[in-house]
Amino acid sequence: MQKTLDFGSSDLNGVDKAESRAAANAQKEKAAPVAVELAKKQREISVAEFFEKNRHLLGFDNRKKALLTTVKEAVDNSLDACEEAKVLPELVVEITNMGENRYRIAVEDNGPGIVRKQIPNIFAKLLYGSKFHRLKQSRGQQGIGISASVMYGQLTTGRPAKIISKIGPEYPAHEIELKLDTSKNKPLIVSEKEVEWHRDHGTRVEIDLEGDYMKGAQSVDEYLRETAIINPHVTIIYQPPQDSQIMFVRATEELPKEPKEIKPHPYGVELGILMKMLENTEYRTLNAFLTNEFSRVGAGTAKEICEQSFLLPSTSPRNISREMAEKLLEGIKKTKIMAPPTDSISPLGKELIEKGLKKELNAEFYHSISRSPSVYRGNPFIIEAAIAYGGNMPEDKPIEIMRFANRVPLLYQQGACAVTKSITSTNWRPYGLKQSQGSIPIGGCLIVVHMASVWVPFTSEAKEAIAHYPEIIKEIKLALQELGRELGKYLGKKRRLHQELTKVDYISKYLPHVSGALQEILTLDEGEKARLEDHLRVVLEKTRSIKKEELDELKKDYGPKRKRESNEADNFDEEEEGSSEDDQERDYSDNEEEEL
Amino acid sequence: MTEEDVPKKIKSVSKRIYTEILKEEKPEVSMPLRSLQNVTYDEKEGYFQLDNKFKSRTLTASTVKTFAQTLKMMALSKTLVETDDIATKRETYYVSKNWGDARFKEQVESDTVMDDIEAMFMVNREQMGFVPEEKGGDIAGKLVVIDKDPETGKEIRIDCTKFGSGAYSIPISVEHLKFETNAKFILAIETAGMFQRLVKHTYWKTANCILVSMGGVPTRACRRFVRRLSDERKLPVYVFTDGDPYGFLNIYRTFKVGSGNAAHINKYFCVPNAKFFGITTQDIIDYKLPTHPLKEVDIKRIKDGIKNDPFVKHYKQWEKSLIEMVKLKKRAEQQALAQHGLNFVISNYLPDKLKNPKTWLP
């Protein structure tokens, strides 16, 4: 913790240095050193103060987003806690309107609870948490989220946050009201008591804040729905401010496999981090440092890294200068190192992704895929994706995109995300969707993309969009292409069925006109005409490309499932009459001539 | 081929289809491909000859509608010819509204089926009882047309000098007409406006000629009329259009050698001895005419013409002239001559042209 704060202030020192230099220059002209004056104004800025002034960095740009961010942080924490304790999560989310633009958010879980001593730090101290210092897949990363929400609530309503937590049936439930001392980044306990609570264990957090409740694309409702999709093992009972309760019921009793914690992979470290690691290590030699602090570095690899960086394996890590560290980094790059272990990631798997989607979305076709692990900058990751087609999704609108990172829905900054980039740079036309070059395709479709990784590279601290790493985009595109192929197959069969049904229709519609015209020209009697029609039907049936049994099979699998489609079929008919077959046959190549 | 042959042909094709169906074979009809890809410029005859590419339409589940429509229209044609009646293209489209599901949605569909049948039998649609909506074109000048009174059948003489400021209209069918004239040449004009000016100032008297107003791309009747007139009276034909790709390739080319779309009947509906008076690309430069920039479609038309039009491919002079126009990036209308005075066209341009055959294009 202290380290992180140091990092913050050293940044500020950089600014100070620049100012001092300017002051030094000024000193040449003036007698009294300005730096002395300036020094009076220079003091440490607390992280809390900094964020108070830059709340947009954490997702509190506006009231609507502040409400969503707070729910999101609390839910993410609850889910992480439950899963770590191997409890099937059951969450209660309540949003209560407390007056104009004022809401009370309550999120309650059946997780392991939090020991009394830690409650203040977890909820009212920024950058405090268990997840920052390790490389393991989890929802939260930096430990800023929930404290920032507490601080935001406090800033906008003046009210403290209320926490109830209980760690087991034999233990008391603690109810603590907390505020955050923004200048010192320290928790302030407003009140504290032991209470009766209905749960054996779990945590409830209540925050009052200024917010704006809305429905639609970036709403709490949508966030919870998407959370339920990507976490099919979770049950959420949601009470929105006006409408009646919504239940998202779990579709599986299976908890996700617990991800293992791993050490960093050499390919993923940057110079600053490497230097910090060298400074803090307990190992005495470079060789030991490399083999113990990194994953996939054995004696042989360590030796090769040392050779490639022209450093002695026996060098003490503490004696490695900046220049030497740079050499070491170059040496790492030159050395071939095995890809990091992938058991640190816990994907949902093909079946569960589809289950999650099916329970919250009524479509006619689903397909999902879970790719094998891949690596970007030494960080292992897995891309999972799913597609749903049909149902009530509009055919003439851009497809819906759901983005997830480590089982957390990403609702903002869709345009900046690697997922969106991968979708728009994939050609969907061969798969049967409409698309203009480089845009989101059009069609009644939903595409889900989930990236699971020990470290998801976001474009900003608000964690809204995945950064554009070529390795990540490549993986996403491969997943999308498979979804596309499956969709294409489905649509192809569906279209074929449609055409066949249309042809059957066509034959009975136009056959009497063929016989009628021949009757007129050849003056046939009614008997002859009837015989002609019988033979004609045989001739036409023969020209159909598909057997009757095959057609019945198709009908079963792809036939109209909804009322709406029968109307569509009629429209399709009309279209076919005017265009396709006839147009192809007729030759309009010379039609620019006005032949009269 | 006489008109009586049409019902016979319709019957024989229908009979074959009927027999094939009874044998449960897939019937098929075929017709020459109507496009520029299926014509060759025949220099000796002077028009686009049909090549032997065919397209065929087999009766299947997916073509059954077009097939039904084709047969329906053949039946209609048979009735028309047998009862000595006619139907315009528009009327035919409306007749189809009685055909239930087999009716045409747009007239362009019925026109295409009509053209297909025409090509299938290698006849002119008038022989099948179908006529176009538009009149053929206007005539003024030193010509007497001998026609028959529709009621009495008696010969009537129409003197085309006697229409004052108006003009004689070319009928839809011109085969029965006879001509008397001592004019020196025929001048076919693109726009009605220019025709009006020449009529107003009785240019036909000054130049001793026959004026024809084509009104855009000339109709078949207009082409046939000029063809017969020029053949029988041995008159040279000069064409006067706007100086643009449309005037060159659509109006003049179709007038002189026919079109791809009507390839099967070009033989009758073209005027092979026509010469192009102007406005040529060179005229635009020589007469310093006010111009308009070439549009995207103009340039496309020219490129298409150079690449695909057998006529342009045959005449290097035309190819050169088209390339020059692309380089000049400009086009000029007939009326642009008014820049030098309203009657400059009569006093200078046309006399200049008559004197200098070198300024014409083939």
Q: Are residues B116 and B143 in the same domain?
A: no
Q: Are residues B93 and B144 in the same domain?
A: no
Interchain proximity A582–B68, CB inside 8 Å: no
Q: Are residues B174 and B216 in the same domain?
A: yes
Inside any domain, residue A203: yes
Q: In angstroms, how far is the first alpha carbon of chain A from the final one?
A: 88
Report the chain B residue with the minimal C-alpha distance to residue A578: B105
Residue at a domain's end among B131, B152, B174: B131
Q: Which residues of B touch A533 (CB under 8 A)?
A: none
Q: Are residues B297 and B203 in the same domain?
A: yes
Q: What angle do CA A120, A121, A123 make, to 5 degrees?
A: 70
B174 — pLDDT class (breaks 50, 70, 90): confident
Report the chain A residue with the minimal C-alpha distance to residue B61: A540
Report the percent of chain A where pLDDT is more than 70. 81
Model pLDDT for residues A500-523, shown as the tens digit of each residue: 777 777 788 888 888 899 998 988
Inside any domain, residue A595: no
Going by C-alpha positions, the residue among B214, B362, B343, B161 that lies closest to residue B280 is: B362
Q: How far is B299 from chain A (nearest CA, A)?
A: 14
What pTM value is reported for the model?
0.57
Inside any domain, residue A389: yes
Q: Are residues B10 and B104 in the same domain?
A: yes
How much is the CA Rg of chain B, to the nearest whole Å?
22
Instruction: Give the Cα separation of B302 and B249 in Å (integer).
Output: 8
Model pLDDT for residues B225-280, shown as the tens digit of each residue: 999 999 898 999 999 999 999 999 989 999 999 888 888 888 888 899 899 987 99
Interchain proximity B217–A591, CB inside 8 Å: no
Q: How far is B103 from chain A (nearest CA, A)?
A: 10
Q: Which of A507, A595, A596 sits opposite B61 (nearest CB)?
A: A507
Output the pLDDT for position B94: 92
Q: Which residues of A touch B22 (CB under 8 A)?
A: 531-532, 535
Among A515-524, A537-546, B53-62, B146-155, the range scoring the smallest mean pLDDT is A537-546
8 A C-beta contact, residue A486 and residue A430: no
ipTM over 0.90: no
Domain of B282 in residue numbering reads as: 138-359
Instruction: Give the Cα separation of A255 and A84 in Å (integer).
Output: 10
Structural domain total, chain B: 2
Q: Which residues of B touch A538 (CB under 8 A)?
A: 24
Q: How far is A461 from chain B (nearest CA, A)?
A: 51
SS3 A424: helix
Q: Are residues A146 and A292 in the same domain?
A: no
Q: How far is B207 from chain A (nearest CA, A)?
A: 31
List per-block mean pLDDT (blocks of 10 residues) for chain A, which spans 596 residues: 38 45 52 75 67 74 90 91 92 94 95 91 72 60 73 90 93 93 84 92 95 90 94 94 91 84 84 86 91 90 92 90 91 89 83 89 91 87 94 88 92 91 92 89 93 88 86 94 93 83 80 89 88 86 67 62 39 36 37 38
Chain A residues with a Cβ under 8 Å from any Cβ in chain B: 503-504, 506-507, 509-511, 513-514, 516-518, 520-522, 524, 531-532, 535-536, 538-544, 577-578, 581-582, 585-587, 589-596
The tokens describing B234, both together, are: 């041995």
Q: Which residues of A touch B39 (CB under 8 A)?
A: none
Q: Are residues A362 and A479 in the same domain?
A: yes
Report the chain A residue with the minimal C-alpha distance to residue B15: A522
Q: Which residues of A touch B105 (CB under 8 A)?
A: 577-578
Domain of A32 in residue numbering reads as: 2-45
Q: Are residues B149 and B210 in the same domain?
A: yes
Residue at a domain's end among A334, A358, A390: A334
Output the pLDDT for position A238: 96
Structural domain total, chain A: 4
Q: Which of A520, A536, A589 sits opposite B35 (nearest CB)?
A: A589
Output the pLDDT for position A87: 93
Q: What is the CATH number of the domain that holds B243?
A: 3.40.1360.10
Q: Mean pLDDT over residues B93-97, rounded? A: 91
- Tell me how long chain A is: 596
φ/ψ of residue A578, rounded to 5: -75, -35
Q: Are residues B250 and B103 in the same domain?
A: no
Q: Which of A521, A592, A596 sits opposite B78 (nearest CB)?
A: A521
Interchain proximity B260–A590, CB inside 8 Å: yes
Q: Are residues B97 and B156 in the same domain?
A: no
Exposed/middle/buried for B357, CB within 10 Å: 0-12, 13-18, 19+? exposed
The tokens describing B208, both together, are: 């001793």
Residue at a domain's end among A314, A334, A354: A334
Output the pLDDT for position A446: 93
DSSP state of B30: E
Interchain proximity B71–A592, CB inside 8 Å: no
Q: Which residues of A touch B61 (CB under 8 A)?
A: 503-504, 506-507, 540-541, 543-544
Q: How many CB atoms lie within 10 A of CB A403?
A: 27
Output the pLDDT for position A162: 95
The tokens describing B72, both together, are: 């329906």
Q: Are residues A91 and A16 in the same domain?
A: no
SS3 B179: strand
Inside any domain, residue A224: yes
- Provide the mean pLDDT of chain B: 88
Q: What is the CATH number of the domain that holds A497?
A: 3.30.230.10
Model pLDDT for residues A16-70, shown as the tens digit of each residue: 444 555 555 555 555 667 877 777 777 666 666 676 677 777 778 889 999 998 9
Q: Are residues A375 and A500 in the same domain?
A: yes
Report the chain A residue with the minimal C-alpha distance to residue B67: A514
Residue at a domain's end among B67, B97, B131: B131
Inside any domain, residue A596: no
In sequence order, the β-bridge partners of residue A210 are A102
Q: Are residues B290 and B172 in the same domain?
A: yes
Residue at a domain's end among B99, B115, B131: B131
Output the pLDDT for position B63: 84
Q: What is the CATH number of the domain that holds A305?
A: 1.10.8.50
Q: Are residues A304 and A349 in the same domain?
A: no
Q: How far is A552 from chain B (nearest CA, A)?
A: 18
Angle between helix A271-280 and helix A286-293 axes, rounded to 10 deg: 110
CA distances from A310 to A118, A272, A307, A324, B336 (A): 47, 20, 5, 9, 85
Interchain proximity B55–A587, CB inside 8 Å: yes
Q: Are residues B94 and B114 in the same domain?
A: yes
Q: How far is A553 from chain B (nearest CA, A)?
A: 20
Inside any domain, residue A253: no
* Active site residue ranges of B: 94
Inside any domain, residue A254: no
- Residue B217 predicted with pLDDT over 60: yes
Q: Are residues A232 and A314 in the same domain?
A: no
Q: Are residues A61 and A120 in the same domain?
A: yes
Q: Which residues of A touch B254 (CB under 8 A)?
A: 593, 595
8 A C-beta contact, residue A260 and residue A136: yes
Q: Are residues A389 and A301 in the same domain?
A: no
Interchain proximity A532–B18, CB inside 8 Å: yes
Output the pLDDT for position B297: 87
CA distances from B10 to A48, A522, B121 (A): 94, 9, 8
Output the pLDDT for position A47: 65
Interchain proximity B37–A589, CB inside 8 Å: yes
Output the pLDDT for position B4: 57
Interchain proximity A522–B15, CB inside 8 Å: yes
Q: Are residues A231 and A154 in the same domain?
A: yes
Q: Are residues A330 and A314 in the same domain?
A: yes
- Tell me how long chain B is: 362
Q: What is the CATH number of the domain that holds B28?
A: 1.10.10.10
Q: Are residues A230 and A306 in the same domain?
A: no
Q: Are residues B18 and B44 in the same domain?
A: yes
Q: Are residues A372 and A491 in the same domain?
A: yes
Instruction: Give the Cα separation of B176 and A562 in Å (integer).
Output: 65
Q: Which of B35, B55, B134 sits opposite A596 (nearest CB)?
A: B134
Going by C-alpha positions, the residue among A66, A273, A41 that lies closest to residue A150 is: A66
Q: Are residues B145 and B288 in the same domain?
A: yes
Instruction: Give the Cα separation of A588 and A571 in Å (integer).
Output: 25
Model pLDDT for residues B66-91, shown as the tens digit of each residue: 889 999 999 999 999 888 888 988 99
Report the chain A residue with the minimal C-alpha distance to residue B113: A586
8 A C-beta contact, residue A379 and residue A454: yes
Inside any domain, residue A257: no
